[in-house]
Amino acid sequence: MHDIRVMKGDITVLDVDAIVNAANTTLLGGGGVDGAIHRAAGPQLLDECRALGGCQTGEAKITSGCRLLARYVIHAVGPVWKGGHHGEDELLAGCYRRAMDIAAQKGICSIAFPCISTGVYRFPKQRAASIAVRTVRDAAARGSSVKTVVFVCFSEEDYEIYLALCPSPERP
Ligand code: ADP
C-alpha cells in the first residue's frame, strides 16, 4: 500500500528518507533545485557527488543527505526538452523509475520528488507531471519498501497540475 502526496514548497526542508535532486550529467551542482539542495546540504555533498563520476540522462545515483534532514539524496538527471522527438518522455520516466529502484534497494520508506526537467530544461509541465505520476504508481505497484511518495511543487501551476492528477483519496 502506498500513499501519494502533493505539496507546495521547498524540498530541501522535508523530513523524509530521501529527496530526489534534478541534477545535471556532471552531478557537480547547478541552479534551481540542484543549487538549493547543495546549499542546504553543505559542501560535503559536492565531495560525495565528485566521487560518483557523473550520471547519464535518464539515470540516477545516490549520496547521503549530509546536513539535510533527509538521510539520502538521489540525484536524477532529466532530459532537456528538445521538442519531444528525442526520447524525452522515456528519459524522464527513466529518472523516476531509477530513483524508485534505488530507493527500494536502500529500503527507503519515504521519498520526495521535485518536478524534474520542468525548470531550465523546459519540459512541458503537464506532460512531465503525467509521466511522473504514472511511473511512480507503476513502480509502487510492483512492490517496494517505499510507502510514501511526495510530489513537491515549487510553483502554484505545478501544484494545481499534480492535485488534479492525484485525486483526494491519495492525499493526506
Ligand atoms: P531542471 O534543470 O531539471 O529543469 P530546475 O531546478 O531548473 O531543474 O527545475 C526543476 C523544478 O524544481 C522546477 O519546477 C522548479 O520550480 C523546482 N524547484 C526549484 N527550487 C526548488 C526547491 N527548493 N524545492 C522544490 N522544487 C524546486
Phi, psi (5° rounding) for residue 97?
Answer: -65, -45
For ligand 1, pick from 11, 28, 33 the residue to mutate: most ligand atoms within 8 Å of CB: 33
Q: What are the structural domains, with CATH classification, of the chain?
A: 3-165 (3.40.220.10)
The answer to whether the predicted template modeling score (pTM) of the entire model surpasses 0.95 is: yes
User: How is residue 90 written as a grid cell?
Assistant: 522515456
* Dist. CA 114 → ligand 1 center (Å): 6
Kind and range of the H or E run holding 148: strand 148-153
93 near 76, Cβ under 8 Å?
A: no
C-alpha 39/C-alpha 76 separation (Å) is 18
Report CA Rg, the chain: 14
Atom of ligand 1 nearest to the CA of 123: 4
pLDDT in tens, 58-117: 999 999 999 999 999 999 999 999 999 999 999 999 999 999 999 999 999 999 999 999
Express each pLDDT in 82-98 by its tens digit. Answer: 999 999 999 999 999 99
